[in-house]
Amino acid sequence: MDYNFNFAAVWRDFDLLLSGLGLGLILAVVSIAIGCLIGLFLAFGMLSKKRPIRWAATVYVSAFRNTPILVLILFTFFALPELGIRLGKIESFIVTLAVYSGAYLTEVFRSGLVSLPSGLREAGLTIGLTESRTKILITIPVMFRRVLPALGNNFISLFKDTSLAAAIAVPELTFYARKINVETFRVIETWMVASLIYVLACSIIAAILRRIESRLSIPR
Amino acid sequence: MTAPVLEITNLHKSFGKVEVLKGINLTMQSGDVVSLIGSSGSGKTTLLRCVNLLEDYEDGVVAVAGEQIGYTQRNGRRIRLKEKEIARQRAMTGMVFQHFNLFPHMSAIRNVMLGLIKTRKMRNDEAYATAEGWLDRVGMKDRKNHYPGQLSGGQQQRVAIARAIAMNPALMLFDEVTSALDPELISEVLAVVKDLAFDGMTMLLVTHEMQFAHDVSDTVVFMQDGRIGEEGPPDQLFHSPKSERLKAFLKSSKF
Ligand SMILES: Nc1ncnc2c1ncn2[C@@H]1O[C@H](COP(=O)(O)OP(=O)(O)OP(=O)(O)O)[C@@H](O)[C@H]1O
Ligand SMILES: [Mg+2]
């Protein structure tokens, strides 16, 4: 096989790829932020004394964890408008990714919460804090630090999932790569560069997350 | 007449179908030091935890400084107080646990300050000064910026004592505060507790350290299957026990 590599065509549109990368990062950050709130809420739901609440949280988690993310994206974007809920492409994708990550993060937070010694909560109560203040000041901060590595992994895989937004024409990295591919016919070069950008971005994110982890880690 | 610091009347508590406390009566005046002794499973921890409502109780009354803990009567019915009220009542007592339970994400001084700021509504500098004073008292001032993970068990327990007592509670509850410690660390913690006792702190403590109970208590209570088996001044209980059960227990605890 002799193939003449020509990166010039891809190079010309490199700024598009970078803007796509930027949008992907924003999508991931916003989604995981909302997903964290959903996950935290449902994790406490999973551990609730009230059966219906536990049940509702469990249904949520198994429903969204067992549906392929692409199906969820298409469902939110194409089916919800039929039901009268109209969202823009980007909003629709963020909602999907937030709801989806919420299901995974519920499990992360739940296991983090059950790993805490019960005495931690009780110590909070004995100094006169209410249940909710004990959660905010003690259990959640300690749990959060413990699950930080898992949270980081989730963020990276969520960031990679933003490539699926191309399916509904959200202009992120994969979307632009496909556009460049179609316009220039430089198939190999385009997808090589796109893959490389993903790898590089993920490595940098991982490094940043490790920094945050060690910054927040509890001294011992 | 001021109300007793602690007045427990006919207290009953069950876990499911198993009755663990079967009618406890106990009164403590200001400055009293009462030790609970008894074999494993006799209900000592449960009794302590009913006093600050870490466990609900079904029947009887626990009153601290004349105020019933956890419940109120309305139209002859007993209703659980609101969360906020219970939180306020819990701060009337301080508790020290077997496993310290310090907040691992806060330095020693922050551990002591948290309740002062959030519950006692102290300003930051006031809370800092108070916390520092108590850490000094338990010999931990020079480690005030250490995190729990950087302290030995005995040091952690002394910080935990400072955290509880800095809140200025009417009553301190100690649940086997030395039984998770290596033998060489036990005496430093007992010394702190003794110091507080001689200073007039009202305290109810569960302990397996018989010599310590003997030295520090005004009254020793022997718990037996969810009831008070025998109670009295330490000399009487330890040197002339009446019941066979207590004799056997003291023998097994090598007193
Ligand atoms: N949360 C719980 N659920 C069910 N049963 C419990 C619970 N806590 C305690 N019990 C039971 O209540 C009884 C009294 O327990 P408690 O912990 O008060 O005993 P104790 O006197 O403190 O014993 P130890 O010396 O071992 O600490 C035991 O039979 C115990 O199994
Ligand atoms: Mg016990």
- For chain B, the DSSP string reads -PPPSEEEEEEEEEETTEEEEEEEEEEE-TT-EEEEEE-TTSSHHHHHHHHTTSS--SEEEEEETTEESSEEEETTEEEEPPHHHHHHHHTTEEEE-TT----TTS-HHHHHHHHHHHTS---HHHHHHHHHHHHHHTT-GGGTT--GGGS-HHHHHHHHHHHHHTT--SEEEEESTTTTS-HHHHHHHHHHHHHHHHTT--EEEE-S-HHHHHHH-SEEEEEETTEEEEEE-HHHHHHS--SHHHHHHHHHTT-
Q: What is the pLDDT of residue B241?
A: 93
Mean pLDDT value across chain A: 94
Residue of B13, B46, B98, B249 best suited for mutating to test ligand 1, as the one with most atoms within 8 Å of CB:
B46
In percent, the amount of chain A with pLDDT more than 70 equals 100
| pLDDT above 80: residue B254 | no
Mean pLDDT throughout B99-104? 97
Mean pLDDT value across chain B: 95
Q: How far apart are CA B236 and CA B224, in angstroms?
A: 17
Q: What is the pLDDT of residue A220?
A: 81
Q: How far apart are CA B218 and CA B52, in angstroms?
A: 22
**H, E, C per residue of B204-234:** EEECCCHHHHHHHCCEEEEEECCEEEEEECH
Q: State in Å: Cα B206 to ligand 2 middle.
A: 7
| pLDDT above 70: residue B1 | no
Q: What is the pLDDT of residue B76?
A: 84
Mean pLDDT throughout B163-180? 96
What are A's interface residues with B at a Cβ cutoff of 8 A?
A: 117, 119-120, 122-131, 133, 137-138, 141-142, 145, 218-220
Which amino acid makes up residue A26?
A: I
| pLDDT above 80: residue A1 | no
Mean pLDDT throughout B139-144? 97
Task: Give B-chain residues touching A220 at CB under 8 angstroms.
Answer: 147, 149-150
Q: Determine if ligand 1 sits within 6 Å of the CB of residue B40.
A: yes
Interacting residues of B195 by C-beta distance below 8 A, sequence separation 6+: B137
Say if CB B154 and CB B181 are below 8 A apart.
yes
Burial class of B134 by CB neighbour count within 10 A (0 to 12, 13 to 18, 19+): buried
Q: What is the pLDDT of residue B242?
A: 93
**Cβ separation of B118 and A131 shorter than 8 Å?**
no
Q: How far apart are the first and last CA of chain A?
A: 58
| pLDDT above 90: residue B253 | no
| pLDDT above 90: residue A10 | no
Q: What is the pLDDT of residue B167?
A: 97
Residue of B13, B17, B37, B40 best suited for mutating to test ligand 1, as the one with most atoms within 8 Å of CB:
B40
Identify the band that residue A7 occupies on the pLDDT scale cut at 50, 70 and 90: confident
- DSSP, residue by residue, B33-49: EEEEEE-TTSSHHHHHH
Q: What is the pLDDT of residue A145?
A: 94
Q: Determine if ligand 1 sits within 6 Å of the CB of residue B41.
A: yes
Could you report the per-residue pLDDT of B194-229, keeping only the tens digit for each?
A: 999 999 999 999 999 999 999 999 999 999 999 999
Characterize the bridge pairing of strands B59-64 and B33-38: unpaired
Q: Determine if ligand 1 sits within 6 Å of the CB of residue B207.
A: no
Q: What is the pLDDT of residue B255?
A: 66
Q: What is the pLDDT of residue A219?
A: 87
Work out whether the CA dihedral B200, B201, B204, B210 comes out positive or negative: negative
Identify the band that residue A8 occupies on the pLDDT scale cut at 50, 70 and 90: confident
Strand partners, B35: B205, B220
In percent, the amount of chain A with pLDDT more than 90 equals 88
The separation between CA B214 and the C-alpha centre of its own chain, rounded to angstroms, equals 17
Q: What is the pLDDT of residue A74?
A: 96
Say if CB A150 and CB A124 are below 8 A apart.
no
Could you report the per-residue pLDDT of A92-120, keeping only the tens digit for each?
A: 999 999 999 999 999 999 999 999 999 99
Could you report the per-residue pLDDT of B122-140, keeping only the tens digit for each?
A: 999 999 999 999 999 999 9
The residue whose CA is least distant from atom 10 of ligand 1 is: B15
The residue whose CA is least distant from atom 24 of ligand 1 is: B40
Q: How far apart are CA A131 and CA A121, in angstroms?
A: 8
Interacting residues of B250 by C-beta distance below 8 A, sequence separation 6+: B210, B238, B241
Mean pLDDT throughout B162-184? 95
Could you report the per-residue pLDDT of A25-62, keeping only the tens digit for each?
A: 999 999 999 999 999 999 999 999 999 999 999 999 99
| pLDDT above 90: residue A2 | no
Task: Give B-chain residues touching A125 at CB under 8 angstroms.
Answer: 52, 54, 87, 90
**Cβ separation of A123 and B97 shorter than 8 Å?**
yes
Residue of B12, B19, B20 best suited for mutating to test ligand 1, as the one with most atoms within 8 Å of CB:
B20
Q: How far apart are CA B190 and CA B217, in angstroms?
A: 13
**ipTM for this model:** 0.94
**Cβ separation of A137 and B118 shorter than 8 Å?**
yes
